[in-house]
Structure 1
Amino acid sequence: MATFAQLYSPQAVLPLIAEEFAVTPATAALAVSLCTLGLALAVIPWSRAADRIGRLPAMTIGILAATSVGILATFAPTLEVFLIARFIEGAALGAMPAIALAYLSEEVDATHAVRVAGSYIAGTTVGGLAGRIIAGPVSDAASWRIGVLAVALLCLISAALFARIAPPARGFTHGRGQTDGLLRKVLASLRSPIQLALYAQAFLLMGGFVAIYNYLGFVLIAPPFSLPPWEMSLLFLAYLAGSVSSPQAGALASRWGRLPVLIGSTAAMVAGVLLTLSSWLPLVLVGLLVLTAGFFAAHAIASGWTPASAPRGATAQASSLYYLAYYGGSSLLGWLLGFALVGLGWPGVAGSVVAMCLLAAGIAVLFLRRAEGLPRTS
C-alpha cells in the first residue's frame, strides 16, 4: 500500500494535469514515468544498501523518505517542480521492489516461495488500486493536488504500520560477504540467458500495461464515451482482477510449471487489449479485467522466478535488475506510446502493446523452456 498507492496515484488524474498545465498526454504521463524512472535507477543502489544495513532497515528508510517527498510534491508551484519531486519520490520508493522479494526468498522455504511471491504481487495490486480510486474521486470533488495528497497521507499511515509490524529478518546475516562483489553479482545475472529473458518479460509487459492505463483515460473522457473524471477513475477497480490472479498464478505454477502459466497469462493480456478496441463500454471494461488479470499473473510468475533462478548469492541483485527492467519499461514505453495515441489514436496504442506481448512470449518460449526446476548456478 505505502509503495504502490503513491507510485501510481497521478495516473488517475493525468487528464486533469494535462488540462491545468496545457500539455500533451505524453507530457502529463511524465508524472508517472519520471517516478518509475527514479525507481528503476535506484533499485541497484538500494540492493547494495540492503546488503550493508539489512533488508528491513533499508526498506523502512526508503518508504518513509518517499512518503515525505510525496506529501511535499503536492505543494509544487509548477509542473517542472512537481515532476522533479516525483523523480526523487520514485528513487526513494525503489527500496521496496528492490528488496522485498529477496527478503521473502530468504525468509520463506522454497516449497512456498512461488505462492508467497504471488501473494506479495497481490498486495501490490491492492496498493496500486487504492492510489487510483482515491485520487480520482477526490480530485473530481476538489483538485488533483488534493487527490494526490490524500493518497500520500494514506501512504504515511501504511509506511508507519510497515515499520512497526514487519517481522525481523532471520535469513539474512551480516559478515558473510554480502557487501563484496556487487559488480560480480550484477554481471553474473546479466550473463544468464534465463535472467535476461525474465528481464525482457518485465520490460515489455509492464511497459504495455502501464501505457494502457496511462492513456485509456484520455479516450474514455472523449466521445463516444464522455465519462466524467470520477467515473473514469472507477475503471481502476479492474485492478482487483490482479489481486485474484497473481496468487492463483503461483498456485497453478506450483502444479503445472511456470512457463505454461506465463505464456497463458501473456495470451490473456493480448485478448484483453483487443477488447479495449470496442466502442461499447462494457466490452472495454471486460477487456481491462482480462488484461489486468493476465498482466499480474505474468508478473507474479516472472518476478518470483527471478530470485529463484538467480546466480548464487545474487538474489537481491537479480531482483533489482528485474525491477530495473520492469520500471524502465514503465517509464520509457509508458511515455513513448503517448505519441502513438496522438498520431494513430487508440488503435495505435493497442496494436503496439499487442506486438510487445507477442515479442515477450516469443522470448519466453525460446529461453525459458529448459529453465523449469534448474538449480541456481554458482
Structure 2
Amino acid sequence: MIDVKTKEFWQATLALGASALMTFANLYFPQPLLPLFSKEFEVTETTASFLISVPLFVLGISFFIYTALSDAFGRRNIIFIAMGLGTVGTLIISAAPGFEIMLTGRMFQAAGLAGIPVAGMAYISEEYTARAMTVAVGVYISCNSLGGMSGRVFSGVLTDIWNWRGAFLVMAGLSLALFLMVYFLLPASKEFQARPFKLKTILQDNKDHLANPLLRNAYIIGGLHFLLFMGIFTFITYYLSTDPFHVSTAVLGLLYLTYSAGTISSTLAGKAGQQWKQTICMFAGMGCMAVSLVLTFIPSFPYIIAALFLLCFGFFFTHSNSSSWVTRFATHAKASASGLYLTAYYIGGSLGSLYYGVLWSSFGWQGVIYGSFFILSITTVVTVKMKKLEDQEAYTGQA
C-alpha cells in the first residue's frame, strides 16, 4: 500500500490533487460571469444562475451512478474518463452560440466531473495506509477549495483581459494539462477488487441512512447551508454590479479569494471537533455566518469583503463538522452514508438559485439577507435536535 514519505505517495497525492483542482475549477468557473451572461444572452438573473445551480443538481444525482461504476470498472479508469468528459464539456461551452447550448454543455460537464470525487476518495481509502490516508485526504480537500477559488478568480480576470469564450478555452487547455499530469502520475490500483452492482443493497443502505435521525439531520444541515452559501455568492455578483459599487468582472472574480478563509477554518474545525462537541462547533460556525450577513448591509466594499471572509470561515467550519458527523454516526455502509451527505449538499446548493432568485427579483439584497436568516433559523432548530441526540449518545456511552 502507498505510505508517507515515498515517491509513490507524492505521485499519487499530486495526481489526485490535480484531479480535484480540475473538477472544482471547472464547476464554478462561470460564477463571476453571471451578470455578463445576463446581458449578453438577455436572460434574467435567476435564469443565468441556472448555469451554477443546474450543474450542481446533476453532480449530486450523478454520485450514485459513479459509485457503482467505479466499484465495477476501477477508480483510475473512472477518473480518466471523467476528466476527459469534463474537458470536452468546457470546449462545448466555449463555442456555445446561445444560452440553451451553454446550459446543456454545463450539464454534460457536471455529469462527467461527478466521477472524479467519487473515484478519487475510493482510491485513497483502498490504496493508502492509515497514516498516509489522513495526509492525502487533507491535501485532496485543500485542492477542492483551491480549485473552486482559482476557477472563479481566473474566469473573472481572463474575461476582463480577453473575453468569456477565450477564458473557457484557456480553462479547457489547463484541464487537458491536468488530465495528462494525472494520467502519467497516478499509480495503478493494487488493492482494487471489482464488485458487482447490487441495486437492492444500495437502495436499502440509503433507506437506512435516511431513517436514522442522527444522519438525516446532518443531511438537512449540509443541504440548507450550501443553499445559503451558493445563493449569497451567486447574487453578491449582481449586488456589486449595481449602485453604489459597479465593480468590474475581474474584481468579481477576485472576490472568491475569500475562500481562503474556508481552507483555514476546515483545518481548525477538525481540531475543534476533538475538544468540544461537534454541535457546539456547528453553532459557532453558524454564528459567524449570521454576523457576516449583517455586515453586508453596510454599503462599503471593504465591509463586504470582510463579510465574505467571515461567511466562508463560518460555512466551512460548520460544513466540516456536519460532514464528519455522518462518518462518526453511520452504523454501516459509511461510504454510502457520506455519499448521501454529498448528494444532499449539492442538491441543496442547486436550489439556491431558485430560492434566492425569487427574493432578489422581488426584494433586492435585503430580501436575500432576510431569506438567509430564515434558513439559519431552520438549521438552528435542527442543530438543537442534533445536540440532544449527541448528549443522549454521550450518556449512553458512559452508562
Tell whether the structures are fold-level matches, with TM greater than 0.5: yes
Taking a change above 3 Å as real, the CA distance of residues 251 and 115 of structure 1, as seen in their structure-2 partners, is: farther
Residue of structure 2 aligned with 1:40, choices 43, 60, 78: 60
Taking a change above 3 Å as real, the CA distance of residues 360 and 55 of structure 1, as seen in their structure-2 partners, is: farther
TM-score by structure 2 length? Answer: 0.85
Taking a change above 3 Å as real, the CA distance of residues 86 and 294 of structure 1, as seen in their structure-2 partners, is: same
Taking a change above 3 Å as real, the CA distance of residues 121 and 260 of structure 1, as seen in their structure-2 partners, is: farther
Q: Distance in 1 between matches of 2:276 and 2:123?
A: 26
- Unaligned 5+ segments in structure 1 are none
1:259 Cα deviation from its structure 2 partner? 2.5
Partner of 1:284: 304
CA contact (8 A) 2:92 2:102 kept: no
Taking a change above 3 Å as real, the CA distance of residues 42 and 20 of structure 1, as seen in their structure-2 partners, is: same
Partner of 1:52: 72
1:82 Cα deviation from its structure 2 partner? 0.8
Please tell me the residue identity of whatever aligns with 1:259: T
CA contact (8 A) 2:26 2:90 kept: yes
Taking a change above 3 Å as real, the CA distance of residues 38 and 212 of structure 1, as seen in their structure-2 partners, is: same
Q: Distance in 2 between matches of 1:302 and 1:159?
A: 32
Alignment partner of 1:351 is 2:338: no
Q: Distance in 2 between matches of 1:203 and 1:114?
A: 25
CA contact (8 A) 2:72 2:197 kept: no
Please tell me the residue identity of whatever aligns with 2:178: S
Partner of 1:340: 359
Residues 296-331 of structure 1, C-alpha deviations (whole Å, 9 max, x = no match): 22222222332343342x233222211211111111
Q: Secondary structure at the match of 2:22?
A: coil
CA contact (8 A) 2:265 2:314 kept: yes
Alignment partner of 1:326 is 2:345: yes
1:276 Cα deviation from its structure 2 partner? 1.3
Mapping of residues 1-378 of structure 1, within 5 Å: 1-105=21-125, 119-166=139-186, 172-174=192-194, 181-312=201-332, 314-367=333-386, 369-371=388-390
CA contact (8 A) 1:114 1:254 kept: no
CA contact (8 A) 2:90 2:171 kept: no
CA contact (8 A) 1:207 1:331 kept: yes
CA contact (8 A) 1:102 1:307 kept: no
Q: Distance in 2 between matches of 1:294 and 1:114?
A: 23
Residues 4-46 of structure 1, C-alpha deviations (whole Å, 9 max, x = no match): 0000010010011011011111111111111112111211111
Identity of counterpart residues, as a percentage?
A: 28
1:198 Cα deviation from its structure 2 partner? 1.6
CA contact (8 A) 2:326 2:338 kept: yes
Q: Distance in 1 between matches of 2:136 and 2:278?
A: 14
Number of residue pairs the alignment of both structures matches: 374
Taking a change above 3 Å as real, the CA distance of residues 110 and 362 of structure 1, as seen in their structure-2 partners, is: farther
CA contact (8 A) 2:219 2:345 kept: yes
CA contact (8 A) 1:198 1:302 kept: yes
Aligned alpha-carbon RMSD (Å): 2.7
Q: Secondary structure at the match of 1:12?
A: helix
CA contact (8 A) 2:96 2:102 kept: yes
TM-score by structure 1 length? Answer: 0.90
CA contact (8 A) 2:282 2:318 kept: yes
- Unaligned 5+ segments in structure 2 are 1-20
Deviates more, 1:159-168 or 1:209-218: 159-168
1:99 Cα deviation from its structure 2 partner? 4.4
CA contact (8 A) 1:6 1:131 kept: yes
Taking a change above 3 Å as real, the CA distance of residues 119 and 277 of structure 1, as seen in their structure-2 partners, is: farther
1:283 Cα deviation from its structure 2 partner? 0.9
